[in-house]
Structure formats: C-alpha cells, structure tokens
Amino acid sequence: MEDYVVAEFKQVDDHELGLFAIFDGHLSHDIPDYLRSHLFVNILKEPDFWTKTESAVRRAYHMTDTTILEKAGDLGRGGSTAVTAILIDCQKLVVANVGDSRAVICKNGVAKQLSVDHEPSKERTDIEDRGGFVSRFPGDVPRVDGQLAVARAFGDKSLKEHLSSEPDVASEVIDEDTEFIILASDGIWKVMTNQEAVDCIKNVNDAKLAAKHITEEALARNSSDDISCIVVMLH
C-alpha cells in the first residue's frame, strides 16, 4: 500500500509553519489520501492552535477520525497510520502519531525518538478491556483481532471498537544543537535503529539527498515494506 506524504512550508498569521507528515495506509488508498488533504487543515482550524497547540492537535486527530468513520461508505474499508510534525517559526516542533511511523530528532549527533510505536503487544490490556484480543501466531507479528499490526490508526471501522485513534503528542524546543528531523514509515524502522538512521546521514547537508540515502540503506538491508522518508534540515 502506497504511503502519502506532506512536506511544505507556509505562512499563517505572521508565523512560518513547516508541515510534515507520512500516512501509511492499509487495505485502501482513500483514507491516507483523505488525511493528506484534510488533517493539517483541521489542525490549523482549531481556535487555540497557537496557544495550546498540543491539545489542538489531539482534538483535530479525533475529529478527523470521526469524520472518516462517518464517511466509511465513501472512503471504504481499511485505515491509515499517521505521523505529523509541525515546525513553528523554526523554534518549536510538535509531533503527533498513531501507529508505527516514526519521528526522530537529532541533537548533537544523538537520535531521540519523539513518536511512540503503537504495537498491539504493548497495548494488549487496553485492547482486551475494549472487548478485542491480540493474536500471536508463529512467524507473524501480534495483531489486533488477528488482523491489524498496529494498536492505533485512523479508520478501520470494522475494528474501531477495539482500536484507538488517540495520538501521542510531544513537543521539542529547536535550539542550536538541533540538526535535523527524520519522519519515516515502518519500512525504515524494521531494518534500522534510530541512531543508525541518524548516523547514515550525519555528513549529508541536503534534505532530499538525506531522505534518499536512508531509503536506499533500508532497501539494501532488504526492507520489504513500503518505505517513505522525510528529512528536515534545521541548520
């Protein structure tokens, strides 16, 4: 399933915003495509976006997922993971995610993960409390109700009673030690650690070239999943 990507800078209310995201869909292209077109629009519409950014992001995630479920007749089955990063005036970074796409920041050459991998095995209790189960078959990863390999996602109406769309949200101050940010889908992280991804581009100064370098390294390590990568250089 193809990943959908956002990477843009825009001026909003005298602020410069960097908007970056990867939406990794399953069973359908329609939901990640919808997220690419609507999630940031919904986030920026929140009235307290500038004053309480983290809570605004949470509300927009919830509202967007509610709309996706209401539009299930048009958008079809399936769903999507998401990792979003909002860079505000190159001073503050707000990251949110559902699923297993990841955001990693590099400061002084050291990788720090800002997102949370929402794996069914880690959230088994919550899934079971909602009436679901986590399968673990030989040779396979844990799955919600024997189907989905992530515990949180947009959409997936047939699993929604047992699945969460609650994002983890984190903020980071951008200072002179901050070098770059990596957003990537799980096809990267299945074959590379956070630090390995950082190390393989530490001498690359061009963002597009850096993202290409990480992608090629993952392919060289025989990653068989969809691979999408965004690198944002901060100095």
Using one digit for the tens of pLDDT, what is the confidence trace for 194-229?
Answer: 999 999 999 999 999 999 999 999 999 998 777 899
CA dihedral of 61, 195, 25, 98, whole degrees rounded to 10: -20
Residue 60 C-alpha from the chain's centroid: 15
| Structure confidence at residue 148 (pLDDT) | 84
3-state secondary structure of 216: helix
> Secondary structure of 123-189 in the HEC alphabet?
CHHHHHHCCCCEECCCCCCCEECCCECCCECEECHHHHHHCECCCEEEEEECCCCEEEEEEECHHHH
- Name residue 176's amino acid: E
Provide the domain count of the chain.
Answer: 1
Q: What span, in angstroms and rounded, lies between the C-alpha atoms of 235 and 135?
A: 45
Choose among 26, 171, 43, 34: nearest CA to 99.
26
What CATH number is attached to the domain comprising 221? 3.60.40.10
| Structure confidence at residue 31 (pLDDT) | 94
- Are the C-beta atoms of 192 and 102 separated by less than 8 Å? no
- Positions in the chain whose pLDDT score sits under 50: none
Biggest CA pair distance of the chain: 55
31: number of Cβ within 10 Å: 28
Boundaries of domain holding 204: 3-233
| Structure confidence at residue 175 (pLDDT) | 95
Q: Is the pTM of this model over 0.85?
A: yes
